[in-house]
Structure 1
Amino acid sequence: MIPPPSPRFVSPRLVLLPAAVLLVALSGCAAPAPAALEPSADTHGEIAGAAELAEPAVGLTSIDSAGDVSHLDLLDEETADLGSVRAPAAVHSDGRYLFAADASGVSVVDSGVWTWDHVDHFHYYRAEPKLLGDVPGGGVATVATSTSSTTGGTGVFFPDSGEAVLLDTEALSKGEIVESFRLRVAPGPGLVVPAGSFAAIAAADELTLHTADGSTVGDAVSCAEPAGTITTRVGAVIGCRDGALLVLVEGEEPVVERIPYPEGATAPRATAFANREGRPTVAAVAEGAGAWLLDTRARSWTLLPTPEPVVQVTAVDDKDANVLALTADGRVLVLDGETGAQRAASVPLVGASLAAGQPVSLIADQQRAYLNGPVEGRMWEIDFADGARIAREFAPERTPLFFAETGR
């Protein structure tokens, strides 16, 4: 039986900064490079030394098995080498930075392209890409980001040493690695999840809130077996065994809400979330049973049936309620997010990579999806609204073990 929601707790000391949601529309054809503009009057997102652009400078930033970093500009299809970082065991990105983790730390890459969402309009920027340095720690870290690449924090949790680190994201945007706090908790699975200039730490079956200097705010909340996190326009999601916790702000006060799985649910829990960046609905695999959709606005879960078992899923959360899924034989499915019916499917693309246990990522934006195949040595751009058509196929010189869509 699913336990009832825990009481929420509030503290006037916690303030959540406005979230930034980066929505990018790509065409399947190459276009001229973005033109620089004069800085906007409101200066939101402006960083010294960066050029403001007329459109987003969207690219695919990838890291190979040796740690070599490359950036493919999707507008002119030119590739630039950005240098080398630690050989990655895992990589996380917020759409600007890439965080490459191995057993002894995290290397930070600034792709140099990003978007600032000012709610009713957007600002697009390009600066020189940089390798920012390393954050030491024990064990392959989990990394959690917000929807802003210039404000707030970035969370890093090292499972072997139990070190919970909050990085200053504004300092990252200036080329510096600055730790707002580094706390020790019990070793094991855990998360540090930014919430404005504060952070939630989920470890040892509980969640605590902390100010930027590491001070604790309010009382701990239970979160058994924390796994998986994502930030939407509504707030930060943290997966727990019995559902999810949503960390948000009402007025100027922080609130932690529990969103339990539906009563009587027997499908496996969600352990990793994905969506079109910032959108309120997120998706997760319910292994062998379909996909979970979590609507953070409605505070509700839906178990979406899938026509066959899937290994990855992401919610586009567009007007057509598209959900994208990856099958075990490497096909991309386009599903109806209300019924689970299959709308389209690609040919098998990454079956060899999945069979070999290589890291494959399916990333969606407003009009396109992107997929990497380490064994196949390819990256693909997929028009999911046009029958899962392969819009472009890229064969980079360096095998894309991990990649991220950047500039969005």
Structure 2
Amino acid sequence: MTTFFRYGGTALTAAFATLATACAGTTGAEESTYPATPVPATEVSSAQPRLTLTYDGGVLVADEGDLAVVDEFELDGFNRLSPAGDGRHVLISTDGGFRVLDTGSWTEAHGDHDHHYAGSPTLTALKFDAEKPGHAVAHAGVTALFDDGTGRIDVFDPAGLESATELPPLDSYTLAEAHHGLAVPVPGGGMLVTLGDSDKRTGVALLDKSGAEIVRTEDCPGIHGATVAADGVVVFGCEDGTVIFRKGSFEKASAPDPYGRIGNQSGTVNSPVVLGDYKTDPDAELERPERIALVDTRTASVRLVDLGTSYTFRSLGRGPHGEALVLGTDGDLRIIDPETGELVRRIPVTEPWIEPDDWQSPRPALEVHDTTAFVIDPATNSLHAVDVVSGEIRSAELPYTPNEISSVA
């Protein structure tokens, strides 16, 4: 199969091997108190980072400091959130593509200091077309969008999102078959893409910037999800552990069970250990695991930690020093030492809850920025900010039942 794509502004042709990939209701809101007229962004004295949250029928933007809702935008459908990679914009996976939301707040580095700006958020008219928008991954200075409906991967420089009228130039790749997958850009212009077809997913391949395959592994059944750890190591989840990509080659980190699925991972550049979920029943319609996986990328080993409570795919995060954070269904936020697996601290945040049967249904979710763990609680329509160091909690009520949460920082 011959695929045409543009890279670095040059039209290129490449022959690809067969590549395929893996991958609430609302409450009555008060009349809006947000500014009727958008406020232009101006320089402010300190950073004002913002959160984006979805609800059934739209998107909220909230201030990370006082947790107040800054603005809301109506948007039908089940919408998903991904940071665009520039510390300012959010990509909303919605009907027909990836919609661009400008949070209206950002920071620019200037020598030995920063300049901070804040204004009104904007749900722009900009949209990256996709038949079935899936994963958006920002890495190595660019962002890769994966279209599950066509197998097309669009790569762009997120700095180009500063224009409110046109999308940045795209470098587009089309894989041999459409599937639920993802692509992770790597330094030098290449990317990692998962392998498989509509029936199964088997592994991952490294492509150079022309689209030519350099190396692959097919030792990752059911591949799903990826994250980045210290030293630029990329980790992919498998049904029998993980695959670790380091300096141009792959290494297997096997699970201790024949079926040990690590489908969702949380990594940080501050730790060589990746936090993952861990499931052992291949036939379960909904497995509620009580163990997590700690994958040491230095030794390609998997350590299991028993939490004593279940959790979901939205329960994982990392602290400012690489701490492994897990929000349990008992309502407690657990802070775990990733090197030893020891529990450092438990912070009660919500009342106990039960994971819903439908993965799209709202449930408590965790998002971490610096020293603060943000938790949404659909049962009370609340947003909580937990200081990971002191344990102090700030809370605010939301006008709608939240589902997903994302920080752009």
CA gap of 1:346–1:215, structure 2 versus 1, over 3 A, is same
SS in 1 for 2:260: coil
Cα-to-partner distance string for 1:52-108 (whole Å, 9 max, x where unaligned): 7764322222232212x3322233554322644453342222554322223532212
- What is the CA–CA distance in structure 1 between the aligned matches of 2:269 and 2:69, rounded to whole Å? 24
Contact kept, 8 Å, 1:153 with 1:198, in 2: the verdict is no
Cα distance in 2, alignment partners of residues 305 and 117 from structure 1: 42
CA contact (8 A) 2:243 2:252 kept: yes
Judged with a 3 Å threshold, the aligned counterparts in structure 2 of structure 1 residues 280 and 56 are, in CA distance, closer, same or farther, namely farther
The yes-or-no answer on 1:260 pairing with 2:253 is: yes
Asked whether the 8 Å contact 1:328–1:354 carries over to 2, the reply is: no
Kindly report which structure 2 residues correspond to 1:53-92, keeping only aligned pairs within 5 A, or say none. Answer: 55-67=46-58, 69-81=59-71, 83-85=73-75, 87-92=77-82
Q: Specify the alignment match of 2:294 in structure 1.
A: 293
Contact 2:240 2:254 in 1 (8 A): yes
SS class of match (2:261): coil
Matched, 1:373 2:377: yes
In the other structure, the counterpart of 2:238 is: 240
| Cα pair 2:384 2:395 within 8 Å, conserved | yes
Q: How does 1:271-310 map to 2 (within 5 A)?
A: 271-275=263-267, 279-287=271-279, 288=289, 290-296=291-297, 299-310=300-311
How far residue 375 of structure 1 moved from its aligned partner, in angstroms, is 4.1
Determine the structure 1 residue equivalent to 2:91: 99
- In 1, the alpha carbon distance for the partners of 2:348 and 2:154 equals 40
Pair 322,209 (structure 1): closer, same or farther in 2 beyond 3 Å: closer
Q: TM-score, normalised by structure 1?
A: 0.70
1:344 maps to 2:346: yes
The one-letter code of the counterpart of 2:47 is P
> Could you tell me which amino acid in structure 1 is paired with residue 395 of structure 2?
E
**1:393-404, aligned counterparts within 5 Å?**
393-404=395-406
Question: What do residues 331-388 of structure 1 show as CA deviations (whole Å, max 9, x unaligned)?
Answer: 32333442443632415347277577315421223422111123421111113334x4
Question: Does the C-alpha gap of structure 1 residues 325 and 238 become closer, same or farther in structure 2, counting only changes over 3 Å?
Answer: same
Secondary structure in structure 1 of the residue aligned to 2:224? coil
CA gap of 1:238–1:339, structure 2 versus 1, over 3 A, is closer
Map 1:126-275 to 2 at 5 A: 126=117, 129-132=121-124, 133-146=126-139, 152-175=141-164, 176-196=167-187, 197-204=189-196, 205-211=202-208, 215-222=211-218, 223-235=220-232, 236-249=234-247, 255-261=248-254, 264-266=256-258, 268-275=260-267
Structure 1 residues 311 and 231: CA distance shift in structure 2, 3 A: same
Distance 1:270 1:184, change over 3 A: same
Name the CA distance, whole Å, in 1 between partners of 2:55 and 2:318: 27
Provide TM-score, normalisation by structure 2.
Answer: 0.70
The separation in 2 between residues aligned to 1:271 and 1:180, in whole angstroms, is 28
Please, which runs of 5 or more residues in structure 2 have no aligned partner?
Answer: 1-39, 197-201, 280-288
Q: Which runs of 5+ in 1 are unaligned?
A: 1-48, 250-254
Aligned to 1:30: none
Please report how far the alpha carbon of residue 191 of structure 1 lies from its aligned counterpart in structure 2 after TM superposition: 0.9
Corresponding residue number in structure 1 for 2:366:
362
RMSD over aligned Cα atoms:
3.5
- Give CA-to-partner distance per residue, 1:254-302, whole Å, 9 cap, x none: x13324225x445622111124576543311113351112234554432
Provide the C-alpha distance between the structure 2 equivalents of 1:404 and 1:76, rounded to a whole number of angstroms: 16
Q: Secondary structure at the match of 2:159?
A: helix
